[in-house]
Structure 1
Amino acid sequence: MDGHRAQLRHARQRLRRLGRADALGEGEVVGVADPIERARALLRLRRPADAERELRGLLAREPQHTDGHALLSLALIEQRQVAEAVEEAQESVRLAPDQWLPHYAAAQVYNRARRPDDAVAAIRTALDISPEYAPAWEVLARAHLLKGEWQPAVDAALHGLSIEPEDCDLVSLASLAYTNLGDAAQARAAAAHAVRIDPESPTAHFVYGQAELRFGAPGRAAESFREVLRLDPGFGAARDLLVSALKQRNPVYRRLSWLRGRFPQGWRLIFLLPVIPPVIAVFVILALLHWVGWVAEAWTMVRLARGRATRLLFEGAEARVAVGCLGLVAAGAALLGLGIGLGDEVAGLAGAAVMALVTPVQEAAHTGSPVGRAILYGWAGLLGVAVAASALTASPGTALLALYAAIATVWLATPVRGRLTPVI
């Protein structure tokens, strides 16, 4: 769910129409039409601060201007001024509760403010007043997507399409909902239709790539995400999913990812170890499975970061972490081999512990919260110090504990993420 929300956040930036600002302002007197027109144009150009200045000037002269408040709410939410945006949207509704435009704008603000229940209520009111406005059904579909309500999202998108059959954004939203419902045929058909309607739409190619990636065609997904980035180089979600698609093209990585996904990171399993000793074997197997998956992740990342066609997709930090993890494997393997060759238990255990450090490092690197990431990196550093101390003091017990703690991080990281990582 969180993953989908993270993708939807970026998709929504392209899908939304900034209040369909061309509709806001209709019916106003000529004397105030120009500021509304200028604000609409500035919003379309993604210059919300300039639009805000224009609208505040208008409202200083006409404080009861309903559409001025509605557009100002959109300009403010674009600048992430959530509280003020909600206040302006509510003021617009207060001034004209019997008009659909204020409710429509308020619904978009609520969507951006992560208040989908309020968004649904607002857009339902707008639809009660004006049920034949297709963009309102688009806003409703988006609110249901935010709530994870896939079938209602499909229903809303299809209702909008009954009014505007060739609306690319509505078709794209329907595809996204079908993808989350697991309906491969409908998702692919809708996405392909969206691309046919508007071949230059980044959103259409984005949802097509999502459908292909979800339903086992990473090659076609990668092609779609590349097209998105050609059309809109700043589309961050497309970049992230392109990386995922390129990784999924590796059959070994794909198989390991599937196996890891079969077993949830149930950290509470640790508490069963003293009660049910056989669980220890399950614990070790799952931890090793995740470790192998993280090594495969690092190897794939390094290979893609060095590829001529893919190197620009990766930030320096990502590549450095991957190289560091492979370095831990190599150094640990050498130390382990040395310990076996010399019959040195401490060296062998220290080598295994060094290799196991891949898990805490990768868990830290893949934690979204800066605080959680710092905690896990600190934990990895602490384990590294423990391994070094075990080698210096010839303490096999310390090395063994560090080894167990390192591979157990796959579970220990879960409550850290759950407590500190904000919902996207």
Structure 2
Amino acid sequence: MKVADPIQRARTLLHMRRPADAERELRGLLAQQPEHVLGHALLGLALIQQARADEAVQEAYEAVRLGPDQWFPHYAAAQVHYRAHRAGDAMAAVRAALDLQPQHAPNWELLARVHMLRGEWARMAEAALRGLSIEPEYGDLVALLSLACTNLGDTGQATAAAAHAVLIDPESTLAHFVQGRAALRAGDARRAADSFREVLRLDPGFGVARDLLVTALKQRNPVYRRLSALRGRFPNGWRLIFLLPAVPPVILVFFLLALLHWVAWVAEAWTTARLARGRTTRLLFEGAEARVSAACLGLVAVGAVLLGLGIGLGLEPVGTAGVGLMALVTPVQEAAHTGSPRVRKILYGWAGLLAAAVAVSVATATPVVAVLTVYACLLSVWIASRLRGRPPQAV
């Protein structure tokens, strides 16, 4: 009983999301019994929940070494590798757990999650269905099946599975999250927003749900929705550059695509600024996001004033500088909406250089510099897409 007590307490503490307390229990146990298999396995889980991946992996390996014929050490190791985003190691570990215990539905859930981490949606759906054949009312497996179907484009099956997941467990954040994802994919922005609000009610720290709620709220704006749809049709417009020597008129198409992106970014800034001021939505936006949107709207306003002055007073450098200021919306928004901190810094640096070029064009009264800056600003959407590379297959 003395051996079982710290294990039971550690399991309870992990379930209560108190990994530091669970770690203390387990370290006390392992000080007395250094080769306790469950102790090392659970310690690995406690450490990974504290984002101490290297220590967690060591404990997971130790648990597998001590109990290679037990399924739980492999399962715990797979959890550790999965949370550390080590998809290959997680796959090997969960396969080993399934070889030892194929009738345990949580093993299939973990396999589905590993496939999700690798962006293997069809295999994710297959793993979820295998688990549901063992335990048909397993809510998380139903939710994962919905998510896989959403990414496979089967919105009907995704919607039905998500509704079933919510019915099984109305308090599940995952169930409401996948319901929102399915609704967003089906074009039902209102229902998606309701689902993501419910996720945030249950778990205010669910950052992805917050971002998707903002997306759903913006999609309810018909102007923003249409511009986003049009912009999304030309994600690789940069390739038109190679046609310019052979077909010079294509430059007009290229310019129109870049202009369309600029209009969409202005709509993005306007929608975000409006939501940031709304009574029920202002808490969804971080200060930086609201400030970027306000700055972009300020660039448009100041640029329009300078353009009007340039035209009215016949000051060509001032007018072209105004256009350059308005065009800065594209590089600023591209930087703000980049997930990678390194790429974001590069794009903000690029935007800063372009802003300096606009200032130089006014100081030296050389409108040609401002014109070139406008072109560079509009081209920033494709520069950013090259820097980001292929978008990750993330949930």
**When the two structures are superposed, what TM-score results if normalisation uses the length of structure 2?**
0.95
Higher relative contact order (CA 8 A, sep 6+): 1
Displacement of 1:70 = 0.6
Residue in structure 1 matched with residue 361 of structure 2 by the alignment: 390
1:341 matches 2:312: yes
Match of 2:105 among 131, 134, 145: 134
1:325 matches 2:296: yes
Aligned AA (2:99): D
Query: For residues 57 and 350 of structure 1, what CA distance do their matches in structure 2 show?
Result: 68
1:227 matches 2:183: no
Q: Could you give the per-residue CA deviations for residues 165-221 of structure 1, whole angstroms, max 9, x where no partner exists?
A: 111111111111111111111100000001111111111111101100011000000
Residue in structure 2 matched with residue 260 of structure 1 by the alignment: 231
Q: Could you give the per-residue CA deviations for residues 50-76 of structure 1, whole angstroms, max 9, x where no partner exists?
A: 212221221121111111111011111
Structure 1 range deviating more: 162-171 or 338-347: 338-347
Q: Is the 2:237–2:257 contact (alpha carbons within 8 Å) kept by the matching residues of 1?
A: no
Q: Is the 1:369–1:422 contact (alpha carbons within 8 Å) kept by the matching residues of 2?
A: no
Displacement of 1:278 = 3.0
Displacement of 1:93 = 1.1
Displacement of 1:372 = 2.2
Alignment: residue pair count = 394
Displacement of 1:340 = 2.2
Aligned AA (2:197): R
Secondary structure at 1:353 match in 2:
helix
* Runs of 4+ more than 3 Å apart: 265-276, 421-424
Match of 1:408 among 355, 379, 384: 379
1:46 matches 2:17: yes
1:202 matches 2:173: yes
Residue in structure 2 matched with residue 378 of structure 1 by the alignment: 349
Q: Could you give the per-residue CA deviations for residues 367-420 of structure 1, whole angstroms, max 9, x where no partner exists?
A: 22223222222221221121122112210111111111111111222333349x
Displacement of 1:283 = 2.0
Aligned AA (1:63): P
Q: Is the 2:310–2:316 contact (alpha carbons within 8 Å) kept by the matching residues of 1?
A: yes
1:307 matches 2:278: yes
Query: For residues 392 and 147 of structure 2, what CA distance do their matches in structure 1 show?
Result: 23
For structure 1, the residue ranges without an aligned partner over 5 or more in a row are 1-29
- The 5-angstrom pairing of residues 345-356 of structure 1 reads 345-356=316-327
Query: For residues 422 and 121 of structure 1, what CA distance do their matches in structure 2 show?
Result: 22
Q: Is the 2:119–2:393 contact (alpha carbons within 8 Å) kept by the matching residues of 1?
A: no
1:118 matches 2:51: no
RMSD of aligned residue pairs (Cα, Å): 1.8
1:82 matches 2:53: yes
Aligned AA (1:37): Q
Query: For residues 75 and 312 of structure 1, what CA distance do their matches in structure 2 show?
Result: 32
Residue in structure 2 matched with residue 364 of structure 1 by the alignment: 335
**When the two structures are superposed, what TM-score results if normalisation uses the length of structure 1?**
0.89
Identity value in percent: 71
Aligned AA (1:361): V
Displacement of 1:325 = 0.5
Query: For residues 43 and 240 of structure 2, what CA distance do their matches in structure 1 show?
Result: 51
Displacement of 1:318 = 0.9
Aligned AA (1:39): A
Aligned AA (1:181): L
1:96 matches 2:53: no
Residue in structure 1 matched with residue 130 of structure 2 by the alignment: 159
Structure 1 range deviating more: 40-49 or 236-245: 40-49
Q: Is the 1:295–1:358 contact (alpha carbons within 8 Å) kept by the matching residues of 2?
A: yes
Residue in structure 2 matched with residue 26 of structure 1 by the alignment: none
Aligned AA (1:230): R
1:183 matches 2:154: yes
Q: Is the 2:306–2:322 contact (alpha carbons within 8 Å) kept by the matching residues of 1?
A: yes
Structure 1 range deviating more: 194-203 or 79-88: 79-88
